[in-house]
Amino acid sequence: MKLGNYQVKLEKKLRVGGWEAAGISILAILIALLLVSVIFLEAKVNPLDGFTSIFTYAFADQFGVPLTINRSIFILLCTCAFIVPIKAGLWNIGMAGQLYGGALAAFGVAYAFGASPSGSQNLTLAPGLIIPLMMIGAALGGALVGAIPGFLKGRFNTNEIVVTMMLNSVAFWLVAFMIKDGGPFMGAGGEGEGFILPPSLDAPQILGGPYTILLALLLAGFLYFMFARTKLGYQIKTYGQSPSAAKYAGISPYNIPVLVFVIGGLLAGLAGYHLFAANPGVYKITQNYGDFGDLSFYGVICGLISLENPLAAIPIALLFGGLTSGARFVQGELQMGFGVDYAMLGILMITLVAFQFFYRNKIVWKKLEKEK
Amino acid sequence: MPMIEIKRGDTVLEARGITKRYPGVVANDHIDFEIRAGEIHAILGENGAGKTTLMRILFGLTQPDEGEILIFGEKVNFRSPLDAIHLGIGMVHQNRKLIPAHSVLENIILGHPSAGRIMNLKRTGDEITELCNKYGFKIDLKAKVWQLSEGEKQVVEILKALYRGAKILILDEPTSALAPPEVEKLLASIKIMTGSDLALVPFITHKLPIVLSVSDRVTVLRHGKVTARLETKSATENSLAKEMVGREVIFRLERVDVERGEPTLQVEGLSALDDKGVLALKSVSFSVHEGEIFGIAGVSGNGQQTLAEVLAGLRTLTEGKVTLGGLDISHSSSLERWQKGIGYIPSERVDVGSIGDYSLTDNVMMNYYFDDEFIKWGILDSNKIRKLTEGLISEYDIAVPGPETTAKSLSGGNLQKLILARVLSRKPRLIIANLPTQGLDVGATEFVQNKLLEAKKLGAGILLISEDLDEVLSLSDRVAPIYEGEFMGVVSTKQARREDIGAMMAGLKNKVAPV
């Protein structure tokens, strides 16, 4: 293409470095914010005021910060749940279903040991044991939901995207059955919510936040290490690069899909546990649990933006966690129209994904020689 | 098409200063040549010499950065292959671009302007039959393409180009996939075609004798530049190879005689299906001994691939028994086979044998990640693998900056060296080499063959699968020509005559007493 005296060409990039990717992402965020300004201007709000409010609430407000952290932990776990299968070239779009599975299993454990909708306090096991069992239960519950698409992929080569998506619906209605009118996990008030955990089963806190923050950070670090250094990580990556080459090298084309979806489901199950059973002030499967299923899809976006790197996913999850809470706050605070927060996040996501183009291509300018 | 009377010897195509640059490499560097009507003008070069780029430019698939192409003396500018076709250039691809489920006739008229909306199959059929008679092709126009042999498919491609009025025919590696008898037929047709003032431009990597036997002139490329323009009369096999490679090449490999040891691999009554579920391997029995190269010669698609995959554990057998050193491995996984000492060199270097986005270290890891020496607590010892890789790079003379280079930046020859190095470094007792030199240039071929002979000297049993009869004959101790999934016999290469094995590859059974 010619632009004035310049020849403009697209060239393929062989590989993108970590810092370069970070730079591209930051540029994308700045451009997204510029685009979002249009929304603010349309609503007759000074964009600068708008952004200041969003970021102040998200990262420097006594009510906003805990919300941001809770959301970020959730998104980080969902991102990890997406990253493990995508390293094997498989798409986990079923974090929602897996986190519902995890939540149901966690509350199932509590239920089994005496916690009940009637608010009975007669626990049959020490709370100090029930709490870790709930966490393990959630992990297994998520893993079980994840194992289904993994098994179907490994054994019958079904499309994992379709299966995970459909299981989201199955799990969604299963939760509805369990917590709504007459369901075994129905709350005492019967407002379409699950029962509230007895206070003795409230998850321990660290510095005023849920302990799951440590869990999420440790898991992200562990996954990074797993993919960088271990035999298992190598097998998964190799399968993801080329299933036929992996088969040649003796890596089982059955086991890897099962394994990555079990791990992915496990991580999403923990996200469900965090959200409903370890999040201060919640401790129940809420009426709007479906919204959190939707929120889990940020895991896909964060996973792609971080270039499948669990450590790089941490700041990105924090950003999205902050923006989801900040944008909703600003919408009320500045009396803007309904859905502004979604519009904002939508713009951000589209811009970030569009800028991935520059991970693979670069634009080259060359001054044209004057025609003789 | 311009209606210009073409006389024998007229220049029909002229390339002047063709230059094409890709990031980091000049694929074509000021290439000049001219092609005359009625001549066979071979373009010779190793892989990476710029042949493919040049071919793509001549057929309008790529535009050159500099230089011009003149056809019948007029400067042309191809925007797409359609422009090239209109000006009388035809292309016969090495990877056939035909529709298998359609008949020969339907394939030939596909996309032909005169076919129009309503096809007059009778008339076009007659016209094509006329073409066949003129050039001496024998082909059933009603046959479906999937039923044809590689040689017949090539004839369809040639007819397709001729029917569209091609005056200049570009042939990409025309003989590489053909059985020896088919090569003879093709060469005969080529002679007739040049007799009627067509210009033929075969692009050739190896098979130098064929170049010498049919072509009139040769242009040799090396590193994107023309290194020689010769009348074939004045060239010899060695002089051409020297221009191509840039150094002297030894053609005759000395078969190393090693005391034949115990049988390493024993195969009894092995049958297996291919991807389509067709029985591709029909009750094959043989054994490979220590210090022996057992060759399997055959035209592509006769079950060799299936055999290699079954032995490597990538495909399940339907019947039969496979033992390695006396141990039954009929149903062992590929991982178990690696651990028990089978080393598989696959024919699909890019898709199966390596991972393009991985560094060389990670590629070497493919055959070591399961090795206890390289793992501690599930963690891979990346230093050890890197040292091993560095050692292999220098030992096998792989031209790369270092072990962190990605595999996709390697040339075909260097990639094959890497795979070979990785597999041989495990010191396997049985090496399955599936088309180990296919598509490699003269230098790399020589290297790979010598490494296989070295492994043989060290006592490994080698199963060599090759479509190149000369290679099989010069390397192996015994050879089994394979045809439609069956061995046509097992013969000692010391006694066998080349023609007999060629005939067996084409389906004639047991022309030679078995050994």
Are B162 and B218 found together in one domain?
Answer: yes
Are B241 and B371 found together in one domain?
Answer: no
Residues from chain A contacting residue B380 (CB–CB below 8 Å): 229-231, 234
Q: For residue B503, is it within any domain?
A: yes
Cα Rg, chain A, nearest whole Å: 23
Measuring CA to CA, which residue among B155, B212, B209 is closest to residue B40?
Answer: B212
**Domain end marker among B410, B427, B444:** B427
CA pair distance B70, B76, nearest whole angstrom: 6
8 Å CB contact between A272 and A106: yes
Q: Which 8-state DSSP code applies to residue B207?
A: -
pLDDT of B4 over the 60 cut:
no
8 Å CB contact between B279 and B286: no
Tell me: the pLDDT tens digits for A166-184? 999 999 999 999 988 778 8
A241/B355 touch (CB, cutoff 8 Å), yes or no: yes
Of B337, B354, B379, the CB nearest to A230: B379
Are B232 and B120 found together in one domain?
Answer: yes
pLDDT of B363 over the 90 cut:
yes
Helices (H), chain A: 18-42, 47-60, 64-87, 95-112, 127-156, 160-179, 212-229, 231-241, 243-248, 255-277, 289-295, 298-305, 313-333, 340-355, 357-360
What is the signed CA dihedral for B235, B239, B242, B243, rounded to 10 degrees?
A: -30
CA pair distance B18, A372, nearest whole angstrom: 20
B355/A252 touch (CB, cutoff 8 Å), yes or no: no
CA pair distance A257, A88, nearest whole angstrom: 7
Query: In chain A, what are the domain boundaries?
Result: 75-312
Q: Give the mean model confidence (pLDDT) for residues B200-228.
A: 81
Query: Among A225, A234, A360, which would you mutate to test the B interface (most chain B Cβ atoms within 10 Å of its Cβ)?
Result: A234
Instruction: Specify which residues B226 forms β-bridges with.
Output: B221
Are B201 and B101 found together in one domain?
Answer: yes
Q: Could you tell me which residue, B93 or B310, shows the higher pLDDT?
A: B310
CA pair distance B62, B19, nearest whole angstrom: 11
CA pair distance A133, A123, nearest whole angstrom: 13
Tell me: the pLDDT tens digits for B411-420? 888 999 999 9
Are B285 and B393 found together in one domain?
Answer: no
Instruction: Specify which residues B379 forms β-bridges with.
Output: A230, B376
Are B422 and B281 found together in one domain?
Answer: no
CA pair distance B22, B271, nearest whole angstrom: 47
CA pair distance B440, B452, nearest whole angstrom: 15
Are B265 and B219 found together in one domain?
Answer: no
A247 at the B interface (CB within 8 A)?
yes
pLDDT of B112 over the 80 cut:
no
What is the DSSP secondary-structure string of B255-268? PPP----SEEEEEE
Q: Which residue of B has its CA nearest to A237?
A: B358
Are B370 and B506 found together in one domain?
Answer: no
Q: Which residue of B has its CA nearest to A245?
A: B352
* Candidate from A279-288, B349-358, B394-403 with smallest mean pLDDT: A279-288
Q: Could you tell me which residue, B10 or A178, shows the higher pLDDT?
A: A178
* Candidate from B56-60, B380-384, B424-428, B475-479 with smallest mean pLDDT: B56-60
B354 at the A interface (CB within 8 A)?
yes
Instruction: Specify which residues B233 forms β-bridges with.
Output: none
* Candidate from A82-86, A284-288, B337-341, B372-376 with smallest mean pLDDT: A284-288
- Residue B205 binned pLDDT confidence (cut-offs 50, 70, 90): low
B367 at the A interface (CB within 8 A)?
yes
Query: Among B379, B383, B415, which would you mutate to test the A interface (most chain A Cβ atoms within 10 Å of its Cβ)?
Result: B379
A248/B409 touch (CB, cutoff 8 Å), yes or no: no
Of B333, B355, B380, the CB nearest to A250: B333
Q: For residue B346, is it within any domain?
A: no
pLDDT of B184 over the 70 cut:
yes
Domain that holds residue B287: 259-341+428-515
Q: Which residue of A has its CA nearest to B368?
A: A249
| Two tokens, residue B513 | 């007493």
Identify the pLDDT of residue A151.
97
Give Cα separations from A220 to A78, A171, B427, B496 (angstroms). Answer: 11, 26, 39, 64
Of A12, A229, A235, the CB nearest to B379: A229
* Candidate from A227-231, A269-273, B63-67, B195-199 with smallest mean pLDDT: B195-199
Residues from chain A contacting residue B369 (CB–CB below 8 Å): 231, 234-235, 238, 249
Of A14, A232, A248, the CB nearest to B378: A232
Residues from chain A contacting residue B379 (CB–CB below 8 Å): 229-231
CA pair distance B214, B235, nearest whole angstrom: 12
To the nearest whole Å, the CA of A14 is away from the closest chain B CA by: 9
Are B118 and B131 found together in one domain?
Answer: yes
pLDDT of B160 over the 60 cut:
yes
Q: Residue holding tokens 């970020």?
A: A72
Q: Which residue of B has its CA nearest to A13?
A: B23
Taking the CA atoms of B395, B396, B402 and B407 in sequence, report the sign of the dihedral they define.
negative
Long-range contacts of B9-12, Cβ-Cβ distance < 8 Å, separation of 24 or more:
B9/B36, B9/B37, B9/B38, B9/B39, B10/B36, B10/B37, B11/B35, B11/B36, B11/B73, B12/B36, B12/B37, B12/B71, B12/B72, B12/B88, B12/B167, B12/B168, B12/B199
Kindly provide the ipTM of the predicted complex, given to two decimals: 0.84
To the nearest whole Å, the CA of B510 is away from the closest chain A CA by: 34
Are B391 and B438 found together in one domain?
Answer: no
To the nearest whole Å, the CA of A242 is away from the closest chain B CA by: 7
A252 at the B interface (CB within 8 A)?
yes
- Residue B1 binned pLDDT confidence (cut-offs 50, 70, 90): very low
8 Å CB contact between A138 and A278: no
CA pair distance A134, A82, nearest whole angstrom: 23
Identify the pLDDT of residue B515.
54
Q: For residue B347, is it within any domain?
A: no
Q: Could you tell me which residue, B7 or B456, shows the higher pLDDT?
A: B456
A251/B382 touch (CB, cutoff 8 Å), yes or no: no
**Per-range mean pLDDT, top range of A96-110, A187-201, B242-256, B499-513:** A96-110
CA pair distance B284, B319, nearest whole angstrom: 10
| Two tokens, residue B394 | 């220098």
Q: How many domains are contained in chain B?
A: 3
Taking the CA atoms of A178, A181, A186 and A192 in sequence, report the sign of the dihedral they define.
positive
- Residue B117 binned pLDDT confidence (cut-offs 50, 70, 90): low
**Per-range mean pLDDT, top range of B34-48, B139-153, B309-323, B480-494:** B309-323
Q: Give the mean model confidence (pLDDT) for residues B374-395.
A: 94
To the nearest whole Å, the CA of B79 is away from the closest chain A CA by: 15
Of B355, B382, B406, the CB nearest to A238: B355
CA pair distance A9, A105, nearest whole angstrom: 55
Identify the pLDDT of residue B2.
47
| Two tokens, residue B73 | 């003396």
* Candidate from B100-109, B189-198, B337-346 with smallest mean pLDDT: B189-198
- Residue B115 binned pLDDT confidence (cut-offs 50, 70, 90): low
To the nearest whole Å, the CA of A226 is away from the closest chain B CA by: 8
- Residue B132 binned pLDDT confidence (cut-offs 50, 70, 90): confident
Q: Which residue of B has its CA nearest to A241?
A: B355
To the nearest whole Å, the CA of A137 is away from the closest chain B CA by: 26
| Two tokens, residue A325 | 């809470």
Identify the pLDDT of residue A24.
87
CA angle B402, B403, B409 (to 5 degrees): 75
Give Cα separations from A237 to A90, A174, A195, A246, A356 (angstroms). Answer: 11, 34, 42, 9, 21
Q: For residue B463, is it within any domain?
A: yes
pLDDT tens for the 372 residues of chain A, in order: 667 777 777 777 766 777 888 888 889 889 998 999 998 898 888 889 889 999 999 999 988 999 999 999 999 999 999 999 999 999 999 999 999 999 999 999 999 988 877 766 678 888 889 999 999 999 999 999 999 999 999 999 999 999 999 999 999 999 999 988 778 888 877 678 888 888 888 888 887 788 999 999 999 999 999 999 999 999 999 999 999 999 999 999 999 999 999 999 999 999 999 999 988 878 888 888 988 888 899 999 899 888 899 999 999 999 999 988 898 888 888 888 778 888 888 898 889 888 888 877 888 777 766 544
CA pair distance B512, B508, nearest whole angstrom: 10
Q: For residue B82, is it within any domain?
A: yes
Are B436 and B326 found together in one domain?
Answer: yes
Q: Could you tell me which residue, B273 or A180, shows the higher pLDDT?
A: B273
CA pair distance A114, A120, nearest whole angstrom: 7
The domain spanning residue B337 has which CATH number? 3.40.50.300
* Candidate from A197-206, B253-262, B307-316 with smallest mean pLDDT: B253-262
Residues from chain A contacting residue B312 (CB–CB below 8 Å): 248
Q: Which of residues 290-349 of B touch A (CB under 8 A)?
A: 312-314, 333-338, 344, 346, 348
To the nearest whole Å, the CA of A237 is away from the closest chain B CA by: 10
Percent of chain B surpassing pLDDT 90: 35
Identify the pLDDT of residue B513.
54
A251 at the B interface (CB within 8 A)?
yes
B334/A244 touch (CB, cutoff 8 Å), yes or no: no
B168 at the A interface (CB within 8 A)?
no
Are B133 and B76 found together in one domain?
Answer: yes
8 Å CB contact between B93 and B172: yes
